[in-house]
Amino acid sequence: MNWVVPLSDVQFDSDEISAVTAVLESGWLTMGAITAEFEKEFMAFTGAKHTLAVSNATVALHMACLGLNIGPGDEVIVPSLTFVATANAVRYTGATPVFADIKSENDLTLSLQSIERAFTPRTKALMVMHYGGYPCDMPRILAWAKAQNLPVIEDAAHAAGSFLDGKHLGTFGTAGCFSFFSNKNLSTGEGGMLVTDDDALADRFRLLRSHGMTSLTWDRHQGHAWSYDVVTTGYNYRIDEIRSALGRVQLAKLEANNARRRELISLYREMLAECCPSIAVPFAGHPGVSAGHIMPVLLPRGTDRLEFMEGMKAHGIQTSIHYPPVHTFTAYKENAIGADRLPVTDEVAAREVTLPLYPTLTDAQVKLVVEAARDSLGA
C-alpha cells in the first residue's frame, strides 16, 4: 500500500550507509569492537552501569527473567496493554504472567493499586512498560516493590531517550530492556539493549547472551583466549556488528529526533483540540520527558473504530492499535490471571487508535491526518 502518510518511517541517510559499509569492508560481522563501542555509548547516554547489546528486546526481557531466576511456579505482574512479548518473556521461563490494569484514560501506564491487587505470595517480580516512552510512576512503584523485596524489570522498548527526574527510563529497576526494531525511535531493523546496575546480574547476562560460554569468538580472534568452558545453558541472543554500527549512528541522532517527535505531539494536541475535540489525547501533563514513540488517541465512546480506521485509510493515512490487550489473545485468554480486573485496559483498548508519528513527518502532514480524522469521525 502506498500511504500518503505512513504510521512510522525509518530515518537513514549516508551516515548509516557509511557505517554499515565500513563494517562490511572490515570483514568482521559478528559481535565485536563496534558492538562494544555501541554499548559504551548507550551506557554514557542512559547512565546505566552495564549495557549488553542483544538481538532484540524480547530476548532482553527473557534474559532479565532468567537472571532473576524466575521459573515454574512463579508469578510476574505485567500490564495487559502492551506488546505480547512482555508477557511471552515470562512464559518462556515457565512462570505465569499476572495482568494488572493501567491507571486511567489519560495515563496508560500501570496502576500501583492494581499491581497491589495482583500481588500474591508467588509473585517473583514486577514488569512495568513505559507506554509510548511515558514514564510509569517509578518513585511510588519502586518504593512499594522495595517493601515487598520484589525486583522490577522495565520493558523500555518505547523509551530510548525518555527521562524521569533527569534519570533515563530503564535504569530505575533491576534491569531495563530496550528495542531497536524498525519502527522504534532508535532503529536497527532488529536489535535491543539490556541494562542493569547490578554487577553479578551483568555477568550472568553475558553468559546467557552467548551459550553460557566463558569466552567469545571475538576474544579468540584477538588472541585473548584459545578455548572456553560452558558454565550454564545459554542462548545465542547476540547482536551483530552491522546492527551495532547502525545503532551508533541512530543513537547520535536520537535526541534531535525525539525533540521533533515531541514537537509533533504538541502540534497534534493543538490541532486535534481545535478540529476534533471529541478525540482524547492521553498523557496530557504527564511527568518526565517522553521519547514520544507513538501518538495514541482515544476515539469518542461508541465510535466504530474499524470504520474510523477505514476512513483514515481512504485518505491514505495509516493507523494502528496499541494494543490489542494480551489477555484477550487466544493463546492467553483461557488462563489469563487478573483478566477480570482490567476495566481501564478494556475501555482504552477498545477506543485507542495510533496516528502517524516519525521525525520527518511535516506539520502539513499532521494537518492532513487531523483533517482526515475529523472526516473519518463523520463530524
Ligand X SMILES: Cc1ncc(COP(=O)(O)O)c(C=O)c1O
Closest to ligand X by CB, 151 vs 191, is 191
Give me the least distance between CB of 286 and ligand X, in Å please.
Answer: 17
Give me the least distance between CB of 328 and ligand X, in Å please.
Answer: 16
Closest to ligand X by CB, 179 vs 250, is 179
State how far the Cα of 135 lies from the Cα of 290, in Å rounded to an integer: 7
Closest to ligand X by CB, 58 vs 109, is 58
Q: Is 184 a catalytic residue?
A: yes
Closest to ligand X by CB, 85 vs 272, is 85
Give me the least distance between CB of 237 and ligand X, in Å please.
Answer: 11
State how far the Cα of 361 lies from the Cα of 338, in Å rounded to an integer: 39
Mapping DSSP onto H, E and C, the string for the chain reads: CCCCECCCCCCCCHHHHHHHHHHHHHCCCECCHHHHHHHHHHHHHHCCCEEEEECCHHHHHHHHHHHCCCCCCCEEEEECCCCCHHHHHHHHCCCEEEEECECCCCCCCECHHHHHHHCCCCEEEEEEECHHHCCCCHHHHHHHHHHHCCCEEEECCCCCCCEECCEECCCCCCEEEEECECCCCCCCECCEEEEECCHHHHHHHHHHHECCECCCHHHHHCCCCCCCCECCCCCECECEHHHHHHHHHHHHHHHHHHHHHHHHHHHHHHHHHHHCCCCECCCCCCCCECCCCCEEEECCCCCCHHHHHHHHHHCCECCECCCCCHHHCHHHHCCCECHHHCHHHHHHHHHEEEECCCCCCCHHHHHHHHHHHHHHCCC
Give me the least distance between CB of 323 and ligand X, in Å please.
Answer: 8
Closest to ligand X by CB, 186 vs 249, is 186
Closest to ligand X by CB, 21 vs 182, is 182
Give me the least distance between CB of 79 and ligand X, in Å please.
Answer: 9
Give me the least distance between CB of 332 and ligand X, in Å please.
Answer: 15
Q: Give the footprint of ligand X on this chain (CB under 6 A).
A: 56-58, 82-83, 85-86, 129, 155, 157-158, 179, 181, 192
Closest to ligand X by CB, 192 vs 338, is 192
Q: Of the listed 146, 167, 184, 367, which one is catalytic?
A: 184
Amino acid identity for residue 364 in this structure: A
Nearest-5° angle of CA 191, CA 192, CA 193? 145
Give me the least distance between CB of 293 and ligand X, in Å please.
Answer: 8
For residue 164, give the C-alpha cell.
Answer: 524521569
Q: Which residues are catalytic?
A: 184
